[in-house]
Amino acid sequence: MRNQTPLFGRWQVQLILLLSLCCSASVFAQDAEISTTAAAIDTAPTEALATTAPEFDTLVKALTQGSLPKRAQTAKKLGQLDDPRVIPIITALQQGSLYAEKSVDPLVAISDNAGNYVNALNGEKIPATQAEPLKRVPINNTMRSQLRTLLASLNLNDKKPAVRLNAVNRMIADGVDEDTIALLQERQKTEPNEDVRDAITTAFALMNLQSEKASVRIDAIAVLRGSLQQEVRSALLDIANNDSDIKVKQQAQFALDSIEDRISAFRLTENIFFGLSLGSVLLLSAIGLSITFGVMGVINMAHGELMMIGAYVTWVVQQLFPNQIAYSLMIAIPSAFIVAGLVGIAIERGVIRFLYGRPLETLLATFGISLILQQAARSIFSPLNRAVELPEWMSGSLVINPVLSITYNRLYIFIFGLIVFFALLAILKKTSLGLKVRAVSQNRAMARAVGVRASWVDAMTFGLGSGIAGIAGVALSQLTNVGPNLGQAYIIDSFMVVVFGGVGNLWGTLVGAMGLGIINKFLEPYAGAVLAKVLVLVLLILFIQKRPKGIFPQKGRAAAD
């Protein structure tokens, strides 16, 4: 007994260390990104305040008052002024971070989304006491897209190549005409960056597609061949269908075919990623269950609610540290592990230990517990869903090319799922607790005979499985609702994965989760989401008929009973 308690401490610390290490690594990787985006907004008007033209002041103030169409006009006028403060103000308006008082002579401010306000006219900080009457300047879609077009022409001469590239691509998306071409020709003369130059060439080619001369159109098609941009495709499609010249039509069709070939390869990649990503969610939700159900043989219907607890912990942590959203997950992961683990141990000690060997009663009792936990969540946190914010580094996507992009939250959850999996594998294979867990699950009587405290191991194992469910809840809070019903949505899927993979085998859970994820995503385009789910279930039932013990059946003595 004396050497068991510190051991428990060691593996737990190891796990937490491991998890937090991996996660902080991913945050640091992200840090670079955040700083670049922050810098993009940070071209604050503090330095060059030389021109304080009264016209500028009146226009900015008019920008915040009155009807939307009038304000859009004002924005256009403002865009013609040669003043370094214009771009940040219009950017802020477009992104909804421009604030103003409701008055004839309003105070206009730019917010940095962390509650700090800067005067839009002179760049001075506005103290919190004065920020009280500031209201966000309302804006609608029509105006937002007008401003986007306006910003593109303003940003064309920005210092950063990425901003310029965005500006050119926006111009292409809005449709090229003579005015934009003139602007782009001007830019091309001095443009040092190759990507931006390529984009400008694409814009010219798109313009040339509308030329009267067939030879010009054919040349333009040659330039556009291989481009994955959506505007290029729809322009080529239009030519291939409607052009008057048969030769031009043919060329456009050839170009389109070669583009489609490339796209279909990327689609396959995309679909595999979707499948793996769904698989990683399944893995996370099933992996805790593969411990409690797979190793211990307890049918724990409250497993989903343990995930729910983890998700609520994430929310509570965000409430406690409202200004540290980016790092809140680092705190949430270990806290969720501990809270859900403790609840799990309480369930095991309070209910399940009296019911070992009676699966039906365990099922009913844990189902009851799941209902109690759900209703408890309703009473404590209200039946309404809670809003968990996505940290900046989790939102957005990694754009590989115009047809293939991978969303960050899915990517991180995929990596995180694998980390949790291997951490758990290491615990089971390398630690003393793991050894005891395996011993007890394989032969309880023999394990006890050699001095393993079986009931203590049961509690710890159940706590471990529950804690991992809590961690899965943290990941799920980044994808879906945090509410009392969170757990119900995943419990069936979790059991499916464990049964499919082979009860009591962690590798089986991994392969099962990824397999089900990919099968699901490949069925969905043909069958639709509803039917795909049904089909997967049917396939699973057929599979179980053939191989009742799953992909990786347990071998040895444990398999006998």
Residue ranges in contact with another protein by CB under 8 A: 96, 136, 138, 140-141, 144-145, 148, 230-231, 233-235, 237-238, 270-271, 274, 277-278, 281, 375, 378, 382-390, 395-397, 405, 407-410, 479-485, 488-489, 521, 524-525, 528-530, 533
CB of 184 to another protein, least distance (A): 21
If the CB atoms of residues 281 and 457 are measured against another protein, the closer one turns out to be 281
CB of 477 to another protein, least distance (A): 10
If the CB atoms of residues 144 and 249 are measured against another protein, the closer one turns out to be 144
Contacts of 293 (CB under 8 A, 6+ apart): 299, 300, 303, 495, 498, 503
Contact (Cβ atoms closer than 8 angstroms) between residue 21 and residue 335: no
Contacts of 323 (CB under 8 A, 6+ apart): 114
CB of 416 to another protein, least distance (A): 16
CB of 501 to another protein, least distance (A): 19
Tokens of 59: 């226009």
Tokens of 327: 């790092």
Contact (Cβ atoms closer than 8 angstroms) between residue 435 and residue 275: no
If the CB atoms of residues 9 and 383 are measured against another protein, the closer one turns out to be 383
Q: Which residue has the tokens 């969170």?
A: 486
Q: Which residue has the tokens 């867990």?
A: 437
Q: Which conformational region is residue 48 in: left (phi greater than 0), alpha (psi within -120 to 50 degrees), or beta?
A: beta
Tokens of 522: 């490949």
If the CB atoms of residues 138 and 548 are measured against another protein, the closer one turns out to be 138
Contact (Cβ atoms closer than 8 angstroms) between residue 73 and residue 142: no
Give me the amino acid identity at 534: V
The CA distance from 301 to 491, in Å, is 7
The CA distance from 294 to 309, in Å, is 22
CB of 399 to another protein, least distance (A): 8
Beta-bridge partners for 407:
397
Cβ neighbourhood burial of 331 (10 Å; 0-12, 13-18, 19+): middle
Tokens of 163: 């901003």
If the CB atoms of residues 46 and 395 are measured against another protein, the closer one turns out to be 395
CB of 142 to another protein, least distance (A): 8
If the CB atoms of residues 251 and 477 are measured against another protein, the closer one turns out to be 477
Cβ neighbourhood burial of 501 (10 Å; 0-12, 13-18, 19+): buried
- The phi and psi torsions of 84 (rounded to 5 degrees) equal -65, -15
The CA distance from 352 to 96, in Å, is 53
3-class DSSP state of 157 = coil
The CA distance from 422 to 506, in Å, is 10
Cβ neighbourhood burial of 354 (10 Å; 0-12, 13-18, 19+): exposed
If the CB atoms of residues 91 and 441 are measured against another protein, the closer one turns out to be 91
The CA distance from 399 to 86, in Å, is 29
Contact (Cβ atoms closer than 8 angstroms) between residue 228 and residue 401: yes
CB of 478 to another protein, least distance (A): 8
If the CB atoms of residues 249 and 444 are measured against another protein, the closer one turns out to be 249
If the CB atoms of residues 85 and 303 are measured against another protein, the closer one turns out to be 303
If the CB atoms of residues 46 and 379 are measured against another protein, the closer one turns out to be 379
If the CB atoms of residues 359 and 528 are measured against another protein, the closer one turns out to be 528
If the CB atoms of residues 19 and 154 are measured against another protein, the closer one turns out to be 154
- Encode 374-427 in three state secondary structure: HHHHHHHHCCCCECCCCCHHHCCEEEEECCEEEEHHHHHHHHHHHHHHHHHHHH
The CA distance from 454 to 256, in Å, is 67
Strand pairing of 98-100 and 125-126?
unpaired
Tokens of 544: 């179980």
If the CB atoms of residues 129 and 140 are measured against another protein, the closer one turns out to be 140
CB of 447 to another protein, least distance (A): 32
If the CB atoms of residues 10 and 358 are measured against another protein, the closer one turns out to be 358
The CA distance from 79 to 59, in Å, is 10
The CA distance from 332 to 229, in Å, is 40
CB of 278 to another protein, least distance (A): 5
Q: How many Cβ atoms sit within 10 Å of the Cβ of residue 81? A: 14
